[in-house]
Amino acid sequence: MKKIVCLVALVAAVTTSHATLVVSPNWTPLFQGIDQKVGTNFPNTTITNNGAVFTDSSLQVAHCIRVDLTDPGVQLFTTPRATNWSAETRETLSLSISNFIKKYALQVAVDANFYSVNPGGSDPTSEGLPSEVDGLLISKGVVVSPADNNNRYASMMFTTNKVPILDLNNRPPGTNTAGIYTAVTGFYPVLTNGVNVWALYSAAFTAAYPDSFIHQQQPRTSFGLSQDKRYLFLMTIDGRQGGYSDGAVDVETAMWMLQFGAWDALNMDGGGSTAMYRADCAGNPAPVNHSSYVVAYGRERILGDHFGVYAQPLPAFINNVVATPAMTTAEITWTTVAPASSQIEYGLTSSYGTLSALDSTLVTSHDVTLSGLAPGKRYFYRTISSDGATNYNSCAETFFTTNNQVVGLLYDLQNDCRFTTANLDGTNWQASGYNDSGWSNGVGVLWADSANPSGNPAIQFLPLDPQMMPLNPANTGYPFITYYFRTHFNYTNSLAGVTLTFSNYIDDGAAFYLNGVEINRAFLPVGANNTTLASGYNCSGNADCPYIFTASGSNLQAGDNVVAVEVHNFNAHSPDITFGQALFYTAPPPPPPPFITDMVATPGETSATITWTTLSNATSRVAYSLTTNLNKATPLDTNMVTSHSVTLTGLAQLTNYYYRVISSIGATQYTANGSFSTVPFYDGLVSLNNIWSYSTTNENGINWQARSFDESLFQGQGPALLYIENNPAVAPRNTLLPAAAGGAPFPTYYFRTHFTFDTNLAGLSLVFTNYIDDGAIFYLNGQEIQRVRMPAAPQTVVYTDSATGCPHPVDCDAVTNAPDIFRISGDLLTNLVAGGDNVLAAEVHQAVPSGSDIVFGSAVGFVRALVSETELRVQLSGNIATISWDGSGFTLQQAHASAGPASWSDVAPAATSPYSITNPPATTFYRLRN
């Protein structure tokens, strides 16, 4: 592709007619901080610029994910470095987007940088191949691919707190990446400062690059930012799918980005790579857009790099979903936290396909009955409720209709039939495609009787047509010798193993056909024609008992079927003729439900608990490893149970594992596979919305921080954040604090809360995540542990003293993306009470007397200590030296000289505390690393 020169001058206005672009009116929440919109267009959208006119004649469907970068639960993630990383030739390992979501437990993922897999090789058909990424790519602060000369220079970078930075000309040696936590790189900008670059320069670029990919209607991926840099937009435009979405050129990509709210936007890798997935309720990847690669090849494209987003789930609006199935019906009940409508989406696959009727009555207790279901089938379903502003869906659920053998009625005796008395010898009147529109029709049972014009008393128990069939005027009013019948029915279930049962009331003989093929002959000679008489009759010669036969479903077809019957009289002067038929089908029992269900892996730092259920009592075992060869296994638990739980221990931190649960009954073994990743260690003690007691009274000279202090003397209590604040970026604001006279905050507020700590302190540190406006001093059980924007210790601080470092109150706003974080360890932890009540106290001070707001909240948890927080102890006893330390996750190193990092080596085998050595060298240095 020809090199594209970066645009640096934007001088003309661009106007776009949006009348033909249609986007969903509201953003649909997917997760906390992540919303979705969908847009489509009517062709012939017009863009004008200084008299030049560009007309879009293609059909397009655009999907856009909006990511709120200020949401504290939102984190960005790109493809990490490959194992045995090497620049250019092995930067990443190939992976599909859906497996990228599963492997790293992401909520949203999309294609990102341009790349090549097996550099110089063909499009891969397997995962795990070395890949080379074009342009800068950073994952969790690690440079995966540096800026290079592959003609991809438009970079979007994010700091650790997700502040975005754009560099549209990031050529080698590239932007200084210090402080950059996440970065991706596209080809070029399509939208800059709200200006549609490609509409502005369309004529010039078309002339310069007439055959370029940028001017072709193709699937597109674009990343954008809002003007205030709060929102990241991830957009795909589907393409190469005529009649649905043709794709877009860059001028259209920018036009869509403007529609969704972007101010700046980059063109990312597109074409067959364009794909966006999200995690469903169960965490499984589900496509957001329609990938052209899936349409063309029936599978996902395997990419060299990806962009993902972590986010927290939305608060549950739908709860208590229960299905009560019967044979052909199922009652679904659920509750909602607010009045809402009721509807069910269901079907025989996870794609559903059917919606129940919408009940728009707004209620909190919902009850919907599904009918017309197939017996013995597994149905997938989810509930849908809307409160008028937002649609809510429950997670995917399943139920099984009852009845192990499927028996169904295709039509009964009152079925409508077409009939004729014309001579049809020599015509293929039994065929499915035969035109019977000129025949008469009536509801069975159909009959003609010269002796009983009102109907034969012998068959009065049957439902009769109000008008009998015609008699033969040429035979002194007797019935015709032969009558012909045809009827249609629709069959939509599986054809495998189906048996058809025909229940017939006939007088006298008959031949039966299904889709033109004879399936039965009763009391009628082979080769019969229109004048052939029946050779016998059923029952007493009247249609007062059924003639029943069965036929295999070999000639049955999915969809429309035709049954044709010819009925013949026993003699030419028989006074009556009768025909009625009911048709049933019997199918083999459906496959049994899965023996193993509800499999869940709950990973910890170095362990994981696997739970599952079985249909009946069975044993428990789990095989696992770092690869799919599963070369490790837990001991067999021979207890026969239906609810299983096995815990794996000794796992590596932050590592992906594959596993298989195994349950056996006698010699029969059942298995199911899964994967999980171990997680960072953190155990919470105080949540962000913990309840705090508060006071605005001057507490100078009072030991209000002590455990024994009677906090009932304080003014009140409530969950954090506690606040006087009107900035919407400060959240969650839960408890309004009292103000002084005139409405301004008091100079100082005092806070106390309680927690219980039951863990051995060895090797641990406490992490405090705080939202403070403006400064604070923290105390643990009466002992000061930390100051934030306050005069340094040991200076005494009183009620009227001000916070420091905030020249203007807005500089210390406690916004959600800027918490104050600190750790304590060592001697400061000795004040914790193990197994008993602990008091955390804080005094929060205003920065200036005229300040208009105050905010406080703090979350506390414990984590593994860092090396810098861990004491290494050495004890000599005779000729034995013992080295010990607290905690886990550390590696002991040794050196015989303290000069330079190269002199240090890990103690082998890997040492655990305490570690002893006999007759150590005269001088040996030890240290820990993690």
CB contact burial 569-600 (16+ within 10 A = b; e otherwise): bbeeebebbbbbbbbbbebeebeeeebbeebe
CA 451 to chain centre: 72
> Regarding predicted confidence, which is higher, 284 or 902?
284
Over residues 313-334, the mean pLDDT reads 85
Q: Are 399 and 347 in contact (CB under 8 A)?
A: no
User: What does the pLDDT read at residue 208?
Assistant: 52
How many Å apart are CA 266 and CA 224, to the nearest integer? 6
Q: Residue 5: is its pLDDT beyond 60?
A: no
DSSP state of 902: G
Over residues 650-678, the mean pLDDT reads 89
Rg (CA), the chain: 38
Residue 171, helix vs strand vs coil? coil
Question: Can you give the pTM of this predicted structure?
Answer: 0.42
394-398, 405-409, 501-505, 726-730, range with the lowest pLDDT: 405-409
Dihedral angle computed from the Cα positions of residues 914, 916, 920 and 923, in that order, rounded to the nearest 10 degrees: 0
> Regarding predicted confidence, which is higher, 835 or 491?
491
Q: Residue 15: is its pLDDT beyond 60?
A: no
- Of 703, 614, 721, the closest CA to residue 662 belongs to 614
Q: Residue 511: is its pLDDT beyond 60?
A: yes
pLDDT bracket for residue 210 (50, 70, 90): low
For residue 658, CA distances in Å to 45, 99, 669, 885 come to 50, 13, 19, 33
Residue 139, helix vs strand vs coil? strand
pLDDT bracket for residue 396 (50, 70, 90): confident
User: What does the pLDDT read at residue 925?
Assistant: 81
User: What does the pLDDT read at residue 120?
Assistant: 61
- Per-residue pLDDT of 786-839, as tens digits, reads 999 999 999 999 999 999 987 644 568 888 777 888 988 877 888 888 888 999
- Per-residue pLDDT of 404-445, as tens digits, reads 556 688 998 888 999 999 999 999 999 999 999 999 998 888
Q: Are 541 and 576 in contact (CB under 8 A)?
A: no
How many Å apart are CA 314 and CA 230, to the nearest integer? 20
Q: Residue 36: is its pLDDT beyond 80?
A: yes
Q: Residue 4: is its pLDDT beyond 80?
A: no
Long-range contact pairs involving 671-675 (C-beta distance under 8 Å, separation at least 24): 671/596, 672/594, 672/596, 672/599, 672/612, 674/599, 674/601, 674/610, 675/102, 675/103, 675/601
451-455, 551-555, 743-747, 840-844, range with the lowest pLDDT: 451-455
User: What does the pLDDT read at residue 898?
Assistant: 62
**Residue 71, both tokens:** 């949401």
pLDDT bracket for residue 376 (50, 70, 90): confident
User: What does the pLDDT read at residue 314?
Assistant: 82
> Regarding predicted confidence, which is higher, 144 or 397?
144
Which is it for strands 154-159 and 302-303: parallel, antiparallel or unpaired?
A: unpaired
- Per-residue pLDDT of 887-901, as tens digits, reads 666 788 888 776 565
pLDDT bracket for residue 138 (50, 70, 90): very high
- Of 27, 19, 61, the closest CA to residue 44 belongs to 19
Instruction: Tell me the residue type at 513.
Output: Y
Q: Are 806 and 812 in contact (CB under 8 A)?
A: yes
Strand partners, 443: 416
Residue 717: other Cβ atoms inside 10 A: 16
pLDDT bracket for residue 851 (50, 70, 90): confident
- Percentage above 70 pLDDT, the chain: 89
User: What does the pLDDT read at residue 14?
Assistant: 35
φ and ψ at residue 215, rounded to 5 degrees? -100, 5
How many Å apart are CA 483 and CA 447, to the nearest integer? 10
Residue 294, helix vs strand vs coil? helix
**Residue 809, both tokens:** 């109150």
Angle at 672 between CA 666 and CA 678, to 5 degrees: 125
Helix (H) or strand (E) holding 485: strand 482-491
User: What does the pLDDT read at residue 28?
Assistant: 87
- Of 245, 162, 198, 178, the closest CA to residue 10 belongs to 198
Question: Mean pLDDT for the chain?
Answer: 86
For residue 623, CA distances in Å to 199, 472, 634, 658 come to 58, 80, 6, 8
**Residue 188, both tokens:** 């070029």
Q: Residue 673: is its pLDDT beyond 70?
A: yes
Residue 491: other Cβ atoms inside 10 A: 18
pLDDT bracket for residue 911 (50, 70, 90): low
How many Å apart are CA 213 and CA 232, to the nearest integer? 26
User: What does the pLDDT read at residue 17?
Assistant: 38
Q: Residue 206: is its pLDDT beyond 70?
A: no
Would you report the helix, strand and coil content of the chain in percent, each value rounded to 5? 10, 45, 45
Residue 813: other Cβ atoms inside 10 A: 19
- Per-residue pLDDT of 591-600, as tens digits, reads 667 889 999 9
Tally of residues, the chain: 930
Q: Are 394 and 386 in contact (CB under 8 A)?
A: no
Q: Are 633 and 706 in contact (CB under 8 A)?
A: no
Over residues 658-679, the mean pLDDT reads 89
Q: Are 731 and 719 in contact (CB under 8 A)?
A: no
Residue 245: other Cβ atoms inside 10 A: 23
Beta strands in 272-405 (DSSP E): 276-279, 285-287, 302-303, 306-310, 318-325, 330-347, 354-355, 359-370, 378-386, 391-393, 397-400
Residue 309, helix vs strand vs coil? strand
Q: Residue 215: is its pLDDT beyond 80?
A: no
Dihedral angle computed from the Cα positions of residues 691, 697, 702 and 705, in that order, rounded to the nearest 10 degrees: 20
Place of tokens 């990511």: 67
φ and ψ at residue 354, rounded to 5 degrees? -135, 140
> Regarding predicted confidence, which is higher, 53 or 316?
316
Over residues 833-851, the mean pLDDT reads 90
Q: Residue 449: is its pLDDT beyond 70?
A: yes
- Of 594, 599, 636, 600, the closest CA to residue 616 belongs to 594
Q: Are 220 and 248 in contact (CB under 8 A)?
A: yes
Q: Are 554 and 564 in contact (CB under 8 A)?
A: no
> Regarding predicted confidence, which is higher, 117 or 9?
117
pLDDT bracket for residue 460 (50, 70, 90): very low
User: What does the pLDDT read at residue 765?
Assistant: 86
Q: Residue 739: is its pLDDT beyond 50?
A: yes
Residue 294: other Cβ atoms inside 10 A: 15
User: What does the pLDDT read at residue 19?
Assistant: 35
89-98, 110-119, 706-715, 786-795, range with the lowest pLDDT: 110-119
Q: What is the DSSP string of 226-268?
A: -TTS-EEEEEEE--SBTTTB--B-HHHHHHHHHHHT-SEEEE-
Phi and psi based region of residue 251 (left: phi greater than 0; alpha: psi -120 to 50; beta: remaining): alpha
